[in-house]
Amino acid sequence: MKKRIVICILLLATAAIALFACNKKTFTVTFVLGNGEKNIVWHEGDPLPDDPSRGSDVFLGWFYQSDGEQATLADLLSGLKEDVVLVAKWQPASGDEAQ
């Protein structure tokens, strides 16, 4: 009888762990490069992409599409709360206004 109880407890614990792991929501970041290359879709836990290049233009960083604020590495590593789109911002080599 004790053996059955132990087995039932172990099965319930295993099922609870599996259920919790399956329900974990992960979010993605879409990096819009703006350099003619395909956008990058990044999932939590993946290595972060390298900074892009676009001819002689200077890459200024990643900015949230939703509000134009600059994104930081800490934003991505601290855990996302929703899917986000980040857009590359560029400074033309000629010194014109950033794009």
H helices present in the chain, as ranges: 2-22, 73-77
Q: Which fold has domain 26-91?
A: Immunoglobulin-like (2.60.40)
* Per-residue pLDDT band at 20 (split at 50, 70, 90): very low
Residue 92: in which H helix or E strand, if any?
Answer: none
**Spans of all domains in the chain:** 26-91
> Could you give the CA distance from residue 55 to residue 86 in angstroms, rounded to a whole number?
20
Q: What is the pLDDT averaged over residues 46-74?
A: 89
| Of 2 and 73, more confident | 73
High-pLDDT (> 90) share of the chain, %:
19
Instruction: Give yes or no for residue 63 having a pLDDT over 90.
Output: yes
pTM of the model: 0.66
From residue 60, alpha-carbon distances to 42, 92, 95 in Å are: 20, 10, 12
Would you say 31 and 86 are in contact if contact means Cβ atoms under 8 Å apart? yes
